Amino acid sequence: MTYLRTKLVRVLTAYFGADDRRIEHALRVLHHADRIVGDHPGCDPDVVIAAALLHDVGIKVSEDKHGHNTGSTQEQYGPPVAAELLGAISFPPQKIKVVTDIIGNHHSPSRFDYPELVVLKKADLIVNRDEKV
């Protein structure tokens, strides 16, 4: 999609509002996903971008509902939010399915063999490791 990064950055910042930490995290994950995607043949670049930027949208719902989030609540609440956000920018439905599968599986053993899921998990791991330092 044309200017997909820009469209999704707008969506992401509108969604997370003043939560700069989440926005920064998503941008860092996108940076690493872009860097390593060439090592993973078969990736759809649009899916990689969307998954990187939106993978943690479930955190906000989880924190609003429960006051905390875990890997499993992120997997539970993220996909419907991502589907809505992607639908609003006319992201193709078959790609929304892949992105939401990825978001719903990014903190547990992989149930899908999408190369984009591998890329997201690696990129998120790199950023989470950096952020702990």
Residues that bind Fe ion (CB under 5 A): 56, 124
41 vs 13, 35, 86, 115, CA distance in Å? 30, 13, 24, 7
Identity of the residue, 54 or 93, whose beta carbon is nearer to Fe ion in the bound complex = 54
> Smallest distance, Å, CB 2 to Fe ion?
26
Q: Cβ closer to Fe ion: 94 or 129?
A: 129
Sign of CA dihedral 94, 1, 56, 84: negative
Residue 25: CB minimum distance to Fe ion, A = 6
Shortest separation between residue 115's beta carbon and Fe ion, angstroms: 18
CB of 82 to Fe ion, least distance (A): 13
Q: Which residue is nearest to Fe ion (CB)?
A: 124
Residue 56 or 116 with smaller CB distance to Fe ion: 56
Give the residue with the Cβ less far from Fe ion, 41 or 68.
Answer: 68
